[in-house]
Amino acid sequence: MHVQEWLETVPAVAVYALVGVVIGLESLGIPLPGEIILVSSALLASQHGDIDPVILGACATAGAIVGDSIGYAIGRKGGRPLLAWLGGKFPRHFGEAHIAAAERSFEKWGMWAVFFGRFVALLRIFAGPLAGVLRMPYWKFLIANVFGGILWAGGTTAVIYYVGVVAESWLKRFSWLGLVAAVLIGLTSMIVLKRKARKAAAQQEAAAPEPVPAAD
């Protein structure tokens, strides 16, 4: 079942709790679809008056801030052995290459990596635990965590909600035009992305060194 269709079957209080818990667990370091849940819930709020977008945004923000703070505490206590353990459990998310990329971001940007990491799926999972592992001063982490959480969670909720309200109003008047436009945009974006993916793969293959023949 689609996420939004499933959300329509549960009461508003459960939606608030679900958004806060899922985003909190994702921020803590567990790879969950927090952004998908938030976007689906905000879109649902734009179509159903039972869900208050302000409460929804507040729950999402609270989950993001609290989850990141718990992740920071766990990372500070667990240290690098924790990252190694997570790499064994979730190699697709906490593999050595992912951890190295996140560490480079933290070394280069410091607390800004926590702030802007909120908007990047990979860093959103890493930000709290990795900041703790790298012993970032908590006051710096807290400032970046709070402002990043408010801007990401609150901003995403507001934007998706108002886009949903405008889109619903527009599609009611031009339903078939909206459907055709949505299909065309979707097809165009899919074709463009596929072409870019093929081009990137071709460039990567061309840049790869040729295998050295084995000696006789």
Q: What is the DSSP string of 48-72?
A: -TTS-HHHHHHHHHHHHHHHHHHHH
CA 72 – CA 128 distance, rounded (Å): 4
Listed in sequence order, the residues at least 6 apart from 202 whose beta carbon sits closer than 8 Å to its beta carbon are none
CA 68 – CA 150 distance, rounded (Å): 12
Q: What is the pLDDT of residues 14-27, one digit of tens each?
A: 889 999 999 999 88
Residue 5: pLDDT band with limits 50, 70, 90:
low
Share of the chain above pLDDT 90, in %: 14
For 24-62, letters b (16+ CB in 10 Å) and e give bbbbbbbbbebbebbbbbbbbbbeeeebebebbbbbbbb
CA 130 – CA 117 distance, rounded (Å): 11
What average pLDDT score do residues 71-77 get? 85
Q: Is the pTM of this model over 0.75?
A: no
> Other CB atoms closer than 10 Å to residue 68's CB: what's the count?
32
